[in-house]
Amino acid sequence: MENNRSSKRTVQDAELGKAGDVRNGGISRTTPRSLSRAVSPPLKKRRTSPEEGEEESFPAEEQAKKQPCSYRRVVASPFHLTTIRSLGQNSNKDTVSLKGLLGDPLIKECWEFNYLHDIDFLMSAFDSDVRHLIKVHVIHGFWKKENTNRLQIQSDAARYPNITTHHAYLPEPFGTHHSKMMVLLRADDTAEIIIHTANLIPRDWSNMTQAAWISPRLPLLKPDAQQNNSSPRSSLPAGSGEKFKIDFLNYLRSYRAACNPLIDQLAKYDFSSIRGSLIASVPGRHSLVDDFPTRWGWAAMKETLKSVPVRQAGDRVQGGGDVDDSEKPEVVIQISSIATLGPTDNWLKNTLFEALSGSQGPKTLLSSKSKPDFKIIFPTPDEIRKSLDGYASGGSIHTKIQSAQQAKQLQYLRPIFCHWANDSADGVGTTTTTPIREAGRNRAAPHIKTFIRFANHNTKNSIDWALLTSANLSKQAWGDAQSKNNAGEPQVRICSYEIGVLVWPELFADSDGTSSGSKTGQKAVMVPTFLTDTPASHGSEKDRTSLLGEKQGSASTSGNGEEDGKGDDEKEEKSSTVVVGLRMPYNLPLQRYGLQEVPWVATANHLEPDWMGQVWRHE
């Protein structure tokens, strides 16, 4: 849970400038966007067929429209990092800024959902020529009329006659409205959904690591193609746009009357181009066995992962046999807040980790042996001190270790804790000879939240699935352990609103978005990318074999680079593989905490000066 309460400390926040104006690096413009845009689009250039062996790159939101091809395709990352103000262009390639997301003059209506809001900062991101014409809806979670945050939002919004504020329905006393999302309705009769990790305040969009998932532009449905939103769950595959639409509208219905106008509008749009599953939480007690088509919290992950194929560690074990521990998968949880989970790891292991361990297919002895290991990335005090904003960034990152129960929690978390920057002198698990894959964000403190399953915990060269979400590590966000309602039926209690998107490589395998790869024979792998959204377009045959090996079994090569015993069919399969990038926010390999290292605690005093000479005091 985020905390916006001020701490008494001797630290000055760094100057909070505006985010970059454009998506590619935040380079400012001197000419208004509305005056520099071409009146009509340029003529499309006829594209010649690629040469044999050439690779073609498509944005994630457009790749499903492309026709099948017999050469290797690459798909850009469906997740995008945000621009970091104090970093150079090389570290900001393919990034997005708030002005880049909201600065289009074709936006006519914006629904903005968040935990913290700076109204002036939000309005400054819209195109100056039309910002007074855009219908802006601000959804917050401060339901008490005397709440100072609510009063501030109302006071600031009163200066803009085109803003309407709404407070979310919050039946749980310990819940928050933590979702971070924008829904844009445009004058060209399209809609766009942006699910991200940043509060709507300047600091979150300047020097902190954040990310966003951006939907394709959704067109209006044809008049004769009105969809029935009450379709049974079994008829809609996970990851499809149709299933996403049903889950998304169900999520909006949890706000009750506040979002009814938005629901009515979005029901008219075609979501079929979306590739991903909505993983969201809404407050309340939710049945786990009813016919409602949408699950929430950890139950949503558990249900969706039943449809997600993963690489099994036994795929490369000849004739069966034991699974090699060096080839086990690993789920890396990277968050900015850890709540009190309990003095034992019962909830963590038996509820959350169990939900994150699922996959498509029957449970077997072999698959039970290949359950993933888990790691948690969370910054230490030293990493906060060295971050771009120094201690000021620590006000957005939270956990506690002071009480007896919290100290017990630290004992079972420490063995799986990993560094954010991965360059600690006291850390464990890397050496000076280990090649570092640089993400370019080690000094931008993390407010991003990602859950990524790597197919091999040692190499981390391929990814089974990835989740970008607002949810941190807490029972309030993911839900308590399963309990029973008055009728004796299993249920889950959730306190907060959260929202995220889960993706996996098979969603991008075929031109029609099916996940089986059966129509075209194309296979898909997802690979981590660093400093760019797009996988390397030219790789050696050895690299391609490695990627395929982690997903489908290793292929041996002879000394001259030719594969032993491989026929033309398998070689063609390799050349037609779709390679999907996933933009990494942290360096690899990971570095575990040393025995004496502890996580950053914002409610403790930190008297060692940060790189700017400031100290952190909390009273």
C-alpha–C-alpha distance, residues 293 and 471, integer Å:
21
pLDDT at 33: 46
Contact 265, 249 (CB under 8 A): no
pLDDT > 50? residue 395:
yes
Catalytic residue among 177, 178, 286, 398: 178
Return d(Cα 131, Cα 128) in angstroms, integer: 5
Q: What's the pLDDT at 62?
A: 52
More confident residue, 535 or 48: 535
- All CATH 3.30.870.10 domain ranges of the chain, comma separated, are 1-16+327-479+503-549+579-619, 91-283
What is the DSSP pairing of strand 218-219 with strand 107-113?
A: unpaired
- Using pLDDT thresholds of 50, 70 and 90, give the confidence band for residue 575: low
Question: Does residue 231 have a pLDDT over 70?
Answer: no
Select, from the ranges 25-34, 152-161, 229-238, 431-440, the one with the highest average predicted confidence (pLDDT).
Answer: 152-161
pTM for the model stands at: 0.84
Mean pLDDT throughout 349-378?
82
**pLDDT of residue 58 exceeding 70:** no
pLDDT value at position 576? 72
pLDDT reading at 298 higher than 50: yes
pLDDT the model gives residue 511: 43
Q: Looking at 80, 447, 457, 606, which residue is catalytic? A: 447
With 0-12 / 13-18 / 19 or more C-beta atoms within 10 angstroms meaning exposed / middle / buried, residue 237 is middle
Residues 6+ apart with CB under 8 A from 126: 102, 103, 107, 110, 134
Residue 258 amino acid letter = A
Q: Which amino acid is at 203?
A: R
Task: Indicate if the pLDDT at residue 514 is higher than 60.
Answer: no
Which DSSP letter does residue 469 get? E
- Pairing, β 490-494 against β 284-287: antiparallel
CA–CA–CA angle 573, 576, 581 (5° rounding): 120
Select from 590, 209, 601 the least CA-distant residue to 427.
Answer: 590
Q: What tokens appear for 346 in the block?
A: 């019962």
> Is pLDDT at 374 greater than 80 in this prediction?
yes
Residues 337-370 as b or e (16 or more Cβ within 10 Å = b): bbbebeeebebbeebbbebbbbbeeeeeebbeeb
State yes or no: is 447 an active-site residue.
Answer: yes
> What is the arithmetic mean of pLDDT over 314-321?
44
pLDDT higher than 90, residue 536: no
Q: Is 178 a catalytic residue?
A: yes
Q: Say if residue 71's pLDDT is above 90.
A: no
pLDDT for residue 61 is more than 60: no
pLDDT at residue 208 in the model: 98
Buried b (16+ CB within 10 A) or exposed e, 449-476: bbbbbbbbbeebbbbbbbbbbbbbbbbb
* pLDDT of 52 over the 60 cut: no
Higher pLDDT, 7 or 206: 206
Counting residues of the chain whose pLDDT is more than 90, the rounded percentage is 69
Looking at residue 322, its pLDDT comes to 53
**pLDDT band, residue 6 (cuts 50/70/90):** very low
Residue with tokens 């940060």: 610
DSSP per-residue codes, 145-189: TT-HHHHHHHHHHTT-TTEEEEE----STT--B---EEEEEETTS
Q: What is the pLDDT of residue 270?
A: 98
Residue 93 among known ligand-binding residues: no
573 vs 71: CA distance, rounded Å: 9
CATH topology of domain 1-16+327-479+503-549+579-619: Endonuclease; Chain A (3.30.870)
- Asked if the model's pLDDT at residue 64 lies above 50, the reply is no
Q: Is 180 annotated as a binding residue?
A: yes
Which one of 3.40.50.2000, 1.10.10.10, 3.30.870.10, 3.40.140.10 gives the CATH number of domain 91-283? 3.30.870.10
